[in-house]
Structure 1
Amino acid sequence: MSRIRAAYWDPDGARYGIPTYWWRGAPPGYATRRQLRAAGLRPGGQPIAAQVLWRGVGGTRAAYLYRVDLARPKRTATPAQRAAIGKALAARRKCPTCGTVRPYYIPRSLGECLACAYPLEDAA
C-alpha cells in the first residue's frame, strides 16, 4: 500500500471520526450523492456513512458516502408542480415593457427585452 493510500485508509473511523477510504477504495454498498442520483435514489435523511479522501488541487479533497441500502427513491414532481414551473419559465420570457414573449429569457440586468433596452440598435 502506498503512503498516500495508507494516509487515507481508516475503515474503522479512529483517525477521522468516520470510516475513511482512498480514491476508488470504498467497499461496495456505499455511493456519493451523484452516484445515488444516477441510480434514481436520494440519501433520504440518513447521516454520512463514510468518506473518500484524496489529494487534489488546493489540498485534501473529500467526497461523502451514503449507504445504498438505506437510500430512498427520488421524488418526482407532480403535474401541478410541472405546470407551475412551466408558467414561471414562460413569465421569464415575457417583456414587461412591450408584452412580447421572446425566445430568450429577459435579462434581469436590463429588466426588459433587448429590443426595448436598445431601440436605436434594433432600427439600424
Structure 2
Amino acid sequence: MTNLRFLDPDGSRYGLPTYPWGTAWVLAEDLATRKQLAAMNLRPGTTDPVAQLMWRSRRAPDGVRTAALYRISEAKPKDQFTEARARALAAAMRARRTCPTCRQVFVYVIPTSLGECPACHEGGTPEAWELEVAA
C-alpha cells in the first residue's frame, strides 16, 4: 500500500513534484533515480532533480526519506573510465596509503584520526606484513 500523503505531482506542497515510493514509474514514465540511470549506463543531464520520491523510514531522523529523480530523456552517457583516470585514481590511493612521517607505503589506508601510520603514532617501526611489497 502506498502512502498517498507523499503524492504531490504539481510540487505545491514539497517544492518539487513528489511521488510515493514505488509509484513514480507509473505516474511519470520519464523519471529515474541516479542508481537507475547508472544501470542504463547514463548519468543525470542536469545537477538539479526534476522530481523526488518520498517514503517513511525509521532510519531517517525525521522519519521520511527522499530520492531525487532525473529525466531519462535529458540523461547523458556515463564518462568512460580511461587509462589516465585509472592512473590518477591509483596515485590518489597510494597517497592515502603513504605515511607522511616514515614515508612507508602500506597495504591499508592510513587512519585520518592518527594522521600517520599506527607504528609512527606509537613510536615503533612498521611490521613487514603491513608494508606494500615492491614489484
Q: TM-score, normalised by structure 1?
A: 0.71
Q: Give the deviation of 1:16 after TM superposition.
A: 4.2
Give the share of equivalent positions with the same residue, in percent.
49
Aligned to 1:101: 105
Partner of 2:38: 37
Q: TM-score normalized by structure 2?
A: 0.67
> Match of 2:91?
87
The equivalent residue for 1:22 is 20
Q: Which residue of 2 aligns with 1:8?
A: 6
Mean CA deviation greater in 15-24 or 37-46: 15-24
Is the contact between residue 46 and residue 70 of structure 1 (CA under 8 Å) also seen in structure 2? Answer: no
Instruction: Tell me the secondary structure at the aligned position of residue 110 of structure 1.
Output: coil
Deviations 1:47-92, CA, capped at 9 Å, x for gaps: 4222222233323332221111211111134322321221221122
Gaps of 5+ in 1: none
Q: Tell me if 1:53 matches 2:54.
A: yes
State the distance in 1 between where 2:112 and 2:64 align. Answer: 38
* Rg comparison, structure with higher value: 1
Which string of whole-angstrom CA distances, capped at 9 and with x for unpartnered residues, describes residues 20-40 of structure 1?
A: 322101133211112212322
Q: Which blocks of at least 5 consecutive residues in structure 2 are unaligned?
A: 128-135
CA-based RMSD of the aligned residues comes to 2.8
Equivalent residues, number: 119
Query: CA 1:101–1:12 in 2, change beyond 3 Å: closer, same or farther?
Result: closer
| 2:73 corresponding residue in structure 1 | 69
